[in-house]
Structure 1
Amino acid sequence: MKKALIVLTNETRYGETAEATGLWLGEATEFIEELENEGIEVDYVSPKGGFVPLDPRSMKYVDDSILSYYERPDFQKRALTNSLKPSDINPSDYFVIYYTGGHGVMWDFPNNHELQEIALSIYNDGGYITSVCHGIAGLLNIKDENDEYLIKGKKITGFTTSEEVLAGKKSIVPFLNEEVATKHGANFQKKRAYKEFAVYDQRLITGQNPFSPRAVAKLLIEEIK
């Protein structure tokens, strides 16, 4: 069976500020756990490859499951220390690409053409493009062979503007996911702030916030079964 490709950020801070950010840990581990329970293998890629920082705020919201993955030597090595570079990836090895969140992705996901090409290749081969929370930033600028935004006319979700306000980061982030998704023609869906929510449309599966990675995974598993 083909594998799942997990996309992680390399960004350590909010733009030019001195405030630390990075991967929101649970958004990776909770999705991965659901897939591994189904016998699905995963690989990890980041825009630059190598080191993946953790968003320190995410460590306040860990449970035994998240910590158990964090403590696994293989996760530490393959995800957090030696993530693959886009040039290492053969898209035909994967049936799904999953963009994780954490505010860092707002800087290194949206305009990474190598990752966009990988995602589009997986999608055009009948696979799935998925994301959670800020990970939607990786989908916003993907264009299809007709030079149309892939999200145009499709139901998607991601970290909302109201959630960005509640997080206290609206004035720091370089753009607002909800705003750009709507501008690019998506049918942006949302529910109450910080409540689990995921949506499926035409092999795009997206989750709203850090409480939604398992919901994304379960929708994916339902589809492939």
Structure 2
Amino acid sequence: MRNLLMIVTGATSLTMKDGSEHPTGFWAEELVTAHRDLVAAGHRVTIATPGGVTPTVDAVSLDAAVVGSAETVRELEAYLASIAGELAAAVPVADVDPADYAAVVLPGGHGPMADLASDAGVGRVLVAANDAGTIIAPFCHGPAALLSATLADGTNAFAGRRLTVFTDEEERTGGTGENTPWWVETALRDAGAVIESAAPWSDHVVVDRNLITGQNPQSSASVARRVLEALAA
């Protein structure tokens, strides 16, 4: 059994390009799939958020029209209910010692754009974890958190690294559209990351040494599987 850290957004809204507030949070399928698969493999998952707030699920991620069926919604809701105590007891990211964990997993939802992307505590954890060669696995909008990992010289710790992320095309066609305040894929490119994208909504994972990234919700199980493979290596 290994100790794993799951950093989850604590945001409940995202300020859009037009100044309106868009309700947000974590994406249910992503958190549930990763948490379930990692725990099922025998590992212990500690949930952390900025400020230790209880993370909020994005209501859209529990819409049957979005996730495919009412049965899927019930399964997601049941799992979230089963870990409600863990979510409520989220550890403040500022209190996390990265050395305590064998992997750092970051599910998405639009929430990371509102907090993880600029949180100094998240940046500290990611820089230290990366320096130590610890597995870092953000997926969908989770890679927005990588933008917080600024080195002393002002560059991003993941500049030059190969990764994938929820694409600008996916955002335009199935995300928040043209009212999106900023584009995560573009921001990561601007920070020096080498983005490798697949067709929209396809299961796509990129592995670059200790960095494991997934493109979208459809990639959730594959990210968890690659994390488990890396832990077993």
What's the TM-score once normalised by structure 1's chain length? 0.91
Per-residue Cα deviation, 1:115-135 (whole angstroms, up to 9, x for no partner): 111122222222111111011
Residue of structure 1 aligned with 2:222, choices 208, 215, 222: 215
Residue of structure 2 aligned with 1:77, choices 72, 82, 85: 85
Secondary structure at the counterpart of residue 224 of structure 1: helix
Q: What is the root-mean-square deviation in Å for CA atoms of aligned residues?
A: 1.8
Structure 1 gaps of 5+ residues are none
Q: Which residue of 1 aligns with 2:193?
A: 186
Contact 2:122–2:148 (CA<8 Å) still a contact in 1?
no
Structure 2 counterparts to residues 155-166 of structure 1, below 5 A? 155-166=162-173
Amino acid in structure 2 at the alignment position of 1:128: I
Q: Distance in 1 between matches of 2:206 and 2:130?
A: 17
Q: Which residue of 2 aligns with 1:127?
A: 134
Amino acid in structure 2 at the alignment position of 1:29: V
Q: CA deviation at 1:139?
A: 0.7
Contact 1:14–1:172 (CA<8 Å) still a contact in 2?
no
Q: Which residue of 2 aligns with 1:48?
A: 51
Q: CA deviation at 1:171?
A: 3.0
Q: CA deviation at 1:37?
A: 2.1
Q: Distance in 1 between matches of 2:32 and 2:206?
A: 20
Amino acid in structure 2 at the alignment position of 1:56: A
Structure 2 gaps of 5+ residues are none
Q: Distance in 1 between matches of 2:47 and 2:142?
A: 14
Contact 1:50–1:85 (CA<8 Å) still a contact in 2?
yes
Q: CA deviation at 1:168?
A: 4.8
| CA distance 1:218–1:142, shift in 2 (3 Å) | same
Secondary structure at the counterpart of residue 190 of structure 1: coil
Amino acid in structure 1 at the alignment position of 2:86: R
Say if 2:8 is the partner of 1:8: yes
- Bigger mean CA deviation after superposition, 14-23 or 149-158: 14-23
Per-residue Cα deviation, 1:126-170 (whole angstroms, up to 9, x for no partner): 211111101110012413466532222211011100000112513
Contact 1:110–1:141 (CA<8 Å) still a contact in 2?
yes
Q: Which residue of 2 aligns with 1:112?
A: 119
| CA distance 1:198–1:168, shift in 2 (3 Å) | closer
How many pairs does the alignment contain? Answer: 222
Q: CA deviation at 1:91?
A: 1.6
Task: List, as ranges, runs of 4+ consecutive aligned residues in structure 1 with deviation greater than 6 Å.
Answer: none
Contact 1:14–1:173 (CA<8 Å) still a contact in 2?
no
Q: CA deviation at 1:19?
A: 3.3
Q: Distance in 1 between matches of 2:22 and 2:148?
A: 26
Structure with more of its chain in helix, by fraction = 2
* Identical-residue share of aligned pairs (%): 26
| CA distance 1:148–1:19, shift in 2 (3 Å) | closer
Say if 2:66 is the partner of 1:58: no
Q: Distance in 2 between matches of 1:222 and 1:65?
A: 26
